[in-house]
Amino acid sequence: MGKIGGFMEYDRVNSATICEEERIKNFNEFHGMLSLEEEKKQAARCMDCGVPFCQAGRMISGMASGCPLNNLVPETNDLVYRGNLADAYRRLAITHSFPEFTSRVCPALCEAACTCGEYSEPVCTKENEKTIIEYAFEHGLVKERKSDIRTGKKVAVVGSGPSGLAAAQLLNRRGHEVTVYERHDRVGGLLRYGIPNMKLDKSVIDRRVKLMEEAGVTFITGKDIGKDISAEELSSKYDAVVLACGASNPRDIKAPGRDAKGIYFAVDFLGRVTKQLLDSEFKEFPYEMAKDKDVVIIGGGDTGNDCVGTCIRLGAKSVTQLEMMPQPPVERAANNPWPEWPRVLKTDYGQEEAIYKFGHDPRIYQTTVKEFIKDKKGELKELCIVSLKPEKDEKTGRMNMVPVEGSEKIIPAQLVLIAAGFLGSEIYVTDAFGVELDGRTNVKTAEGSYKSSKDNVYVVGDMHRGQSLVVWAIAEGRKAAAEIDKNLMGYTNL
C-alpha cells in the first residue's frame, strides 16, 4: 500500500490553482493537476495503516466518515504509486460510477478519515482520483458497458442528477431498458444547474451522458413527471420507477418585506446563470443579475459559497454572507476527534475570492435578517440584520439561536440570495405517486432499502436521504439498482 515510510518521506502537495485575480474573470475550472511524478509521491504517502477508515463509509456521531462508495482507497493509491493508472482505474470502477464528478466536487470524506491526517496532512486521495479518471478518459478506457442479453424489463428513472444517473447506468448494464426523464432542458440535476461551472465544467457531464446514450440509456428532457406525464401512465408502462427528483424544496426566510423584488433562492439564481452561460456557449455572461449590486447571501454553507464566487464573477459591488451559527473552531475540538468529520472553519474558493476582491472574509456569523427593506417601487434596497446568541430551551434542553436585543443594523442590499437549505422533496411528485413520507418530507423506505410504500416505486438520492452530497447520491443510485434488479430478476449480480 503505497511506499513503506512514504508518509515520513514526502509532505502533502496539492495541485496548483489559478490565482483569484485571473480566475474571477471567467467561469472556467481553476484547479490544475499534479504531474504524474508528483502524484506517485503523493500516493506513496498511503501508509498501509491496517484499518483504512478512508474506505469505511460509516456514520460516526451522526456524521459520515470515510467514502460512502467504499472506494478501495489504499489499493488505488498503491497502483498510482506504482504508476499503473490503467489498473487503478479498473479498481476504482468496481465501486464508483462517476469519479469525474466526485474528484471535482466531493468534500473528500475519505481524506477526513485518513490515518495520516490524525497527526499530519491526509493523503490527497481526491486528487489521485482525478488523475486516475482523467487518464482513463484520455486513454479510451472509460466505456459504458451494455449487456448483449436484454431482460425485457423496462425501468423509468425520474430525475437525471447523480443518483438517477448511477441507477440508470447499472440497470442498463444489467440488460434492462432504461429511460431517464428530466424536467429541465439538460441532463445532470444539481451537477448541471446547481454546482457552478468553475467547480464542475459541464462538458464533464456531457462526456459521460454521451457514453450512456451510446450504451442504450434513453434520456428524455423537458418532461415533468406528475405534470406533463402522469404517475399512473409511467407506472403502467414500466416494470419499475425510480424517483431521483432531489430535495429541491428550498427553506424560505420569513421576515417582513419578503415580497420585495430582488430576492431569489440560491439554486434558482445559480441555475439561471449556468443556463445563460451554456445557451450562449459562454459568450454572454449574465452580468445584469449582480453587476454593481450589494449582494447578501443568507446561508454560510457550500451553496452560499458558490453564490459568493458566482456574484464576484458577475461584478457585484459587495458580497456579504450571513450565517446563523457561531464561527467553527480552526482546529478539531476535543469532542470532535478523528476520524469523525471535522467541524472546523473552512475557507472555500468563493470566500478566498471575496477576501482577494474586497479585503475581508464575506461571512458574518451569528446573524440573520430581521427585515427586508424595499423602496417605493417595491425593490429591495436594504436589510435590517440582527445578531444572534445561543440560548438553552428549558423545555427541550436544545440550544437555539435567539436575537440579541438592540443589535439591529441596516446594510445595503439590492440582491439577496437565500441559501438556507432544503426541506425535502417537492410535494407534487410525491403526491402524484402516492408514496409515504417521513417527518422530514423525504420519501420513506425501510432501513437499507430503496423501495417506497408503493410496490414498483423506488427512491434514491436527496429525495430519500434529504439534502446531501454527490457521493451519497451515487452510492444510493448504485445500491437501489441492485435492489431493483433483484426484485425484477429474482437475483442480482450488480
Ligand X SMILES: Cc1cc2nc3c(=O)[nH]c(=O)nc-3n(C[C@H](O)[C@H](O)[C@H](O)COP(=O)(O)OP(=O)(O)OC[C@H]3O[C@@H](n4cnc5c(N)ncnc54)[C@H](O)[C@@H]3O)c2cc1C
State the residues that interact with ligand X by CB under 6 A.
105-106, 158-164, 181-184, 189-191, 194-195, 199, 224-226, 244-246, 248, 267, 270, 302-303, 306, 429, 461-463, 468-471, 473
Q: How many residues bind ligand SF4 (CB under 6 A)?
A: 13
Q: What's the rounded Cα separation, in Å, for the pair 24 and 313? A: 5
Contacted by 332, from ligand SF4, ligand X, none: CB < 5 to 8 Å by type: none
Contacted by 67, from ligand SF4, ligand X, none: CB < 5 to 8 Å by type: ligand SF4
In the complex with ligand SF4, the residue whose CB is nearer, 130 or 451, is 130
Q: Does 109 bind ligand SF4 (CB under 6 A)?
A: yes
Q: Does 106 bind ligand SF4 (CB under 6 A)?
A: yes
In the complex with ligand SF4, the residue whose CB is nearer, 67 or 155, is 67
Contacted by 160, from ligand SF4, ligand X, none: CB < 5 to 8 Å by type: ligand X
Q: What's the rounded Cα separation, in Å, for the pair 300 and 339? A: 24
In the complex with ligand SF4, the residue whose CB is nearer, 102 or 445, is 102
Stretch that binds ligand SF4, among 107-115, 174-182, 228-236, 253-261 (CB under 6 A): 107-115
Contacted by 42, from ligand X, ligand SF4, none: CB < 5 to 8 Å by type: none
CB of 451 to ligand SF4, least distance (A): 25
The single residue listed with the C-alpha cell 454572507 is 321
CB of 83 to ligand SF4, least distance (A): 20
Stretch that binds ligand SF4, among 66-74, 192-200, 356-364, 398-406 (CB under 6 A): 66-74
Q: Does 67 bind ligand SF4 (CB under 6 A)?
A: yes
CB of 283 to ligand X, least distance (A): 24
Residues 68-97 that bind ligand SF4 (CB under 6 A): 69, 71, 73
CB of 473 to ligand X, least distance (A): 4
At residue 226, φ and ψ (nearest 5 deg) are 100, -15
Q: Which whole-number Å values give the CA distances from 113 to 53, 93, 127, 166, 338, in the listed order?
A: 6, 21, 16, 25, 7
Contacted by 177, from ligand X, ligand SF4, none: CB < 5 to 8 Å by type: none
Residues lying near ligand SF4 in the complex (CB under 6 A) are found at 67, 69, 71, 73, 102, 106, 108-110, 125-126, 129, 471
